[in-house]
Homo-oligomer: A and B are copies of this chain.
Amino acid sequence: MAFCGASATAQTQFKNHLMPLPAELSVGTGSLALNSTFAVQTPGISDARLTDAIDRDVRRIEMAAGLRHAGRGVTGTTKLVVKVDHPSAPVQSLDEDESYLLSVTTSGVELDAGTDVGAMHGLETLVQLVQADGNGYVIPVVTIHDTPRFRWRGLMIDCGRHFEPVAVIERNLDAMAAVKLNVFHWHLTEDQGFRMQSRLYPRLTVKGSDGLFYTQEDARHVVAYARARGIRVVPEFEMPGHSTAWLMAYPELASGTKPNEIRREFGVSPYAIDPTREATYTFVDRFLTEMATIFPDAYVHIGGDETPAPDWKTNPRILAFMKAHKLKDNEALQAYFNTQVLKIVARLHKHMMGWDEVLTPGLPKDVVVQSWRGEASLFKGAKEGYEGVLSAPYYLDGMRPAGVHYLADPLPSSSDLTPDQRKLILGGEVCMWGEHLHERTIDSRIWPRTAAIAERFWSPENVRDVDDMYHRLIPMSVELESLGLTHLESDDAGLRALAGTENIDALRIFVTAFEPVGFGERSQTQHTDQLTPLDSFVDAVRPDPPSRHWFELTVKGFLGDPKNDATDHAALAAWFTQLAESVPVVRQQMAASPRLSAVSARADQLLQLTAMGQQALQYLASKQKAPAGWKAQQTETLNDAKKPSALVRFTLLPALNDLVNAVEE
């Protein structure tokens, strides 16, 4: 980011809360006072989509600034001019011009963009620029030239394993728009559920969805809702694996073994669509043709991952087919399948997308590979001429901190790709898999971490200051809540349900020491399937709580200062005290709530850890040495605390370890 021209005489101190950071920002002098709502001018355009977006975003600015809403068509005196160069294409493409130029002066705002989508991004930036100034609200004088680094900036939500109501999708689309993501990848089918209504094949949802599916009207509504926010919708229909739900409905498509029920277990299933029968392709053709009437996007995702298909190794008919077609193994048979499906997709004038595994020898180049295996796999594809989208480092179910995701770059300048190969890396996609999602917890699993990743996809490569990102993530998180996201509320609701009371002051403090374990660890420790209730302690604990980064930063500040800064010391000591004091209260609530008492051993450990922290602070502040053996003993306690228990991890271990190690013995 080029950050230039911040005048020392500016009356308003510019607080940069923007996320993602723009490509170029220059801060001028003064600010635009928000004491009247806007007089909107949109010379030369009359696209209802843009008008609606202006209406919506002006309303958000009014709310933030406490201004009376102007009704539609009613205008104030502050000028807001929005100019768009070209009319929008009926279907948003990968090559949409998303850039914009935003100029705020002391008298008004001008926004220039090539397309509606660029203008909508500019409006989101404008909303984020509102800040308090003395007794009122202002937008600082700035000029912003902005354009995204990657064309494909996606979020995938798995609605197959657990269904998510349309309202959940809507609010996540609002959040995506706020951070300038532009692809909603809708994972619609899984072993655990077929979520998209087909009129040609109604049994898909009748038999395969437990009644939880999107009607065609729902899906059209989602597509329109997304388009109104500059977001493409790429639907995914998994084949030939992850297809138990298809096969429950149409067992004649199975490769041999037929499922008796919707699969409740997660993981990789043995069922697979039969790639050797003509009827399969007739089915896929008719189905995808029907879906193309609902999903206008130029891309369709066919999954294609994790298909062990044991039937392909034993079914004599399939083995005979493979022999006849010189297909030596399952991989070759799946490549054959992909090639047939690709023909169907091409006939629909669409591009096919698939997970890593679709990348098999002989596959035509017109396939986009979504890499869940990692950068190596992505770059290998690019070297072979395939377009690709990186997902591996953006799996939210790993429950890793935002800062870790943030630093993973889809295309570091250090990579050895040629300029032409670099062009094949379209961007990145955040993946939210659904094994442990409940509609009440999904938002806190996705947000605000995805805002940090969205910045990675949009902003220049050298925007990599993790502390600064976390600093901006706090207001970003509140902005997302104002859009209707429930990521900040749902933990409390979960805690109240566990405790059976509103009095969760102590519990609220207690949980700040924890984060959920990642998908892998949870799957190994707890048997979960689609019917497991997702209302345990772990579900009420959010990934990467703000206290984690705050603690790390404060410990770093404390240790970095030779005088062991008293403010940091006091803040750390106060947190340890708060945490320790929460324990007896939480214990009382455990006594009345068996579900809560699952975390009992963690409460004991928390007391040990806070005592350790207080001791370390004392030694360090007083420059005293600890008695011999103290550190070894603490290390043992820390190692114990690292062990899995109650499906949660302590967030404070690494920084606490630093504190302990800083003590002299």
Q: In the complex, which of the residues B262, B264, B478, B501 contacts A500, with contact meaning CB atoms closer than 8 Å?
A: B478
Q: Which residue of B lies closest to A165 (CB)?
A: B167
Given A493-B481, A594-B132, A594-B136, does the pair A488, B475 have CB atoms closer than 8 Å? Answer: no
Per-residue CB contact flags for chain A residues 54-92 toward chain B (1 = under 8 Å, else 0) read: 000000001100111111100000000000000000000
Within the complex, what minimum Cβ distance (angstroms) separates A273 from chain B? 24
Per-residue CB contact flags for chain A residues 143-169 toward chain B (1 = under 8 Å, else 0) read: 000000000000000000000000100
Complex Cα spacing A536 to B502, Å: 23
Complex Cα spacing A374 to B62, Å: 40
User: Which residues between 209 and 226 of chain A lie within 8 Å of chain B, taking CB atoms?
Assistant: 210-211
Q: Is A419 an interface residue (CB 8 A)?
A: no
Complex Cα spacing A262 to B72, Å: 12
Within the complex, what minimum Cβ distance (angstroms) separates A582 from chain B? 12
Instruction: Check B478 against A68 for contact (C-beta < 8 Å).
Output: no
User: Which residues between 109 and 154 of chain A lie within 8 Å of chain B, taking CB atoms?
Assistant: 132, 134-137
Sort chain A's interface into a size bin: 35 or more
Q: In the complex, which of the residues B137, B535, B592 contacts A63, with contact meaning CB atoms closer than 8 Å?
A: B535
Given A71-B531, A135-B594, A135-B597, does the pair A501, B474 have CB atoms closer than 8 Å? Answer: yes
Instruction: Check A475 against B501 for contact (C-beta < 8 Å).
Output: yes
Q: Is A642 an interface residue (CB 8 A)?
A: no
Complex Cα spacing A135 to B592, Å: 9
Within the complex, what minimum Cβ distance (angstroms) separates A587 from chain B? 14
Instruction: Check A482 against B497 for contact (C-beta < 8 Å).
Output: yes
Q: Is A486 an interface residue (CB 8 A)?
A: yes
Given A132-B592, A475-B501, A594-B132, does the pair A69, B531 have CB atoms closer than 8 Å? Answer: yes
Complex Cα spacing A112 to B67, Å: 56
Q: Is A29 an interface residue (CB 8 A)?
A: no
Residues of B within 8 A of A134 (CB): 594
Instruction: Check A501 against B478 for contact (C-beta < 8 Å).
Output: yes
Complex Cα spacing A135 to B69, Å: 53
Within the complex, what minimum Cβ distance (angstroms) separates A140 from chain B? 15
Q: Is A595 an interface residue (CB 8 A)?
A: yes
Q: In the complex, which of the residues B66, B482, B502, B593 contacts A132, with contact meaning CB atoms closer than 8 Å?
A: B593
Complex Cα spacing A502 to B474, Å: 7
Q: Is A290 an interface residue (CB 8 A)?
A: no
Q: Is A496 an interface residue (CB 8 A)?
A: yes
Complex Cα spacing A593 to B592, Å: 40
Instruction: Check A486 against B489 for contact (C-beta < 8 Å).
Output: yes
Given A496-B478, A502-B474, A546-B502, does the pair A594, B66 have CB atoms closer than 8 Å? Answer: yes
Complex Cα spacing A482 to B66, Å: 32
Within the complex, what minimum Cβ distance (angstroms) separates A560 from chain B? 23
Within the complex, what minimum Cβ distance (angstroms) separates A49 from chain B? 15
Within the complex, what minimum Cβ distance (angstroms) separates A439 from chain B? 9
Q: In the complex, which of the residues B478, B493, B595 contacts A497, with contact meaning CB atoms closer than 8 Å?
A: B478
Q: Is A492 an interface residue (CB 8 A)?
A: yes
Q: Is A269 an interface residue (CB 8 A)?
A: no
Complex Cα spacing A474 to B500, Å: 8
Q: Which residue of B lies closest to A448 (CB)?
A: B502
Complex Cα spacing A179 to B440, Å: 22
Q: Is A340 an interface residue (CB 8 A)?
A: no
Complex Cα spacing A486 to B489, Å: 9
Q: Is A532 an interface residue (CB 8 A)?
A: yes
Q: Which residue of B lies closest to A15 (CB)?
A: B592
Q: Is A533 an interface residue (CB 8 A)?
A: yes
Given A500-B478, A501-B478, does the pair A532, B68 have CB atoms closer than 8 Å? Answer: yes
Complex Cα spacing A132 to B598, Å: 14
User: Which residues between 424 and 465 of chain A lie within 8 Å of chain B, taking CB atoms?
Assistant: 440
Complex Cα spacing A113 to B471, Å: 59
Complex Cα spacing A26 to B519, Å: 47
User: Which residues between 472 and 506 of chain A lie within 8 Å of chain B, taking CB atoms?
Assistant: 474-475, 477-478, 481-482, 484, 486, 488-489, 492-493, 496-497, 500-502
Residues of B within 8 A of A592 (CB): 132
Complex Cα spacing A592 to B496, Å: 31
Residues of B within 8 A of A72 (CB): 210-211
Q: Which residue of B lies closest to A592 (CB)?
A: B132
Within the complex, what minimum Cβ distance (angstroms) separates A594 from chain B? 5
Within the complex, what minimum Cβ distance (angstroms) separates A95 from chain B? 33
Q: In the complex, which of the residues B69, B493, B533 contacts A68, with contact meaning CB atoms closer than 8 Å?
A: B533
Within the complex, what minimum Cβ distance (angstroms) separates A484 from chain B? 8
Nearest 9 pairs of A and B residues by beta carbon: A489-B489, A69-B531, A66-B595, A478-B496, A135-B594, A63-B533, A68-B531, A482-B497, A167-B167
Chain A residues with a Cβ under 8 A of chain B: 62-63, 66-72, 132, 134-137, 167, 210-211, 262, 264, 440, 474-475, 477-478, 481-482, 484, 486, 488-489, 492-493, 496-497, 500-502, 529, 531-533, 535-536, 546, 592-595, 597
A-B contact list, 16 entries, CB within 8 Å: A66-B536, A66-B595, A67-B533, A68-B532, A69-B533, A70-B531, A71-B210, A137-B594, A440-B484, A474-B502, A477-B502, A478-B497, A482-B493, A486-B489, A488-B502, A492-B492
- A sample of 12 more A-B contacts (CB under 8 A), given A68-B533, A70-B531, is A62-B533, A63-B535, A68-B532, A69-B532, A71-B531, A72-B210, A137-B594, A475-B500, A478-B501, A482-B493, A482-B497, A492-B492
